[in-house]
Structure 1
């Protein structure tokens, strides 16, 4: 998606939100394939004020729960899911066998890899497990993302290397609360361990999951997605950062700066619910 940024001549107020419009006010269509971010809004401040100060690639996308108009901003768009894929994995495993609540708790709240591997194995053969996780993604509106059944990098789980774009992840997040038994996972997403409460974890009432890992050159991608409360329901958010330095710590700082900006514009957000109301 091309991104056109700038003031709109004669704009004295923000455009009204349509029922399935982006959760953050301050965007409007500037023509086919373009989005205009209005100055002084969350979208405008992210693109014009914050993004130029960040040393690396960053992406942000938001939409009300129940909505489907995905509007990503920034210069990062897709990459490995890393531990964010533990959300659909955990939901698939708990549906299959509710006895794995302990592993589910560890996989989500502590991002425990051994617990996630146990959940993966509980689903059957690698091919069957991959299909089960993909089925949850499809149910959540992500019609694109493929979950590998074999390791593409020997030292990492197959599911963590699924290529999950910001837009597809947000699309899934916007439907997640509406899926059967999803509360068994979103409840855990509200109890993330203290050491992982950067980025979205700094926002009150956030239910989220982070994921991080190095590329083949050792440079880290750090990403999160989740839900925050807003008037009318909840807002789904997906953010990601890949610092030029490759530093994990810098990536978490970048995501916290994005979350801080969101916190400064909470009055613009409009949530949604599973029945589509706003």
Structure 2
């Protein structure tokens, strides 16, 4: 359960599109079909910084956030990078569509499972086919871009780089009917915390660290904040090892981002 935050209460029901509000308001973070014709204020860096400090204190977590609007990175919080966890399943899936020789129906089944329910066995199958197609790590690196070299597993993916990648997804000509982005709009309910509560395409990842007992959760997605299209990357770490604290933190960040549209 999210701890009480007076500064977010006004947007709670509007932000939570998957939490059973009786009315179904328009999603406060909106996917755009085309870039905005005129500049808009976007997210307020100072307000974000103050909100993150409050959320960190309330949830006993460390938080990282990066927003990219196509030209500028806005980064806030006390951490700048985490292991990719299951967020890497998005570029793996895009690479698989380009390079895997599985039959179309089987490939679609694997991608659906990898993204919508974050199935690791399905992702292993995608990774294996990419290995056969020329080397999975290299093909996924090309999908992400030269900003980061990443593999299936716990390889770090900085929030700033991930926000750039998410923004690039928002600019695709087929953003409204791309099969992978469609799966990002249909994540399983039990995994739809954080950005999943505000009705935008996203993918999450999570896991614990054996060496220090901490727990990590992170997400990437894209949507409009204050009229500006952003790629979004957020994450939280609980040194006490609480997944609930990390997802509470990401819920709260998503509500703050949504509040810029009110």
Same fold by TM-score greater than 0.5: yes
**Using a 3 Å threshold, how does the CA distance of structure 1 residues 20 and 145 change in structure 2: closer, same or farther?**
farther
SS across alignment from 1:144: coil
CA contact (8 A) 1:145 1:162 kept: no
Deviation at 1:51, TM superposition (A): 3.5
Q: Is 1:185 aligned to 2:161, yes or no?
A: no
SS across alignment from 1:68: coil
Q: Aligned to 1:132, which of 132, 139, 144?
A: 139
**Using a 3 Å threshold, how does the CA distance of structure 1 residues 125 and 134 change in structure 2: closer, same or farther?**
same
Q: Is 1:165 aligned to 2:165, yes or no?
A: no
SS across alignment from 1:53: helix
Q: Is 1:62 aligned to 2:67, yes or no?
A: yes
| Contiguous gaps of at least 5 residues in structure 1 | 1-18, 28-36, 149-158, 268-278
Deviation at 1:122, TM superposition (A): 1.3
Please give the TM-score of this superposition, normalised by the length of structure 1.
0.71
CA distance in 1, matches of 2:133, 2:187: 27
CA distance in 1, matches of 2:68, 2:149: 23
Question: Cα RMSD over matched residues?
Answer: 2.5
CA distance in 1, matches of 2:260, 2:39: 19
Deviation at 1:187, TM superposition (A): 1.1
Q: Is 1:74 aligned to 2:77, yes or no?
A: yes
| Contiguous gaps of at least 5 residues in structure 2 | 1-37
Deviation at 1:161, TM superposition (A): 1.5
Higher relative contact order (CA 8 A, sep 6+): 2
**Using a 3 Å threshold, how does the CA distance of structure 1 residues 177 and 95 change in structure 2: closer, same or farther?**
farther
Q: Is 1:46 aligned to 2:51, yes or no?
A: yes
Q: Aligned to 1:102, which of 106, 109, 120?
A: 109
Q: Is 1:250 aligned to 2:245, yes or no?
A: yes
Partner of 2:202: 208
Deviation at 1:61, TM superposition (A): 1.6
CA contact (8 A) 1:60 1:73 kept: yes
CA contact (8 A) 1:68 1:171 kept: no
CA distance in 1, matches of 2:88, 2:41: 24
**Using a 3 Å threshold, how does the CA distance of structure 1 residues 20 and 239 change in structure 2: closer, same or farther?**
farther
Once the two structures are overlaid, the 10-residue window that deviates more, 229-238 or 168-177, is: 229-238
Please give the TM-score of this superposition, normalised by the length of structure 2.
0.75
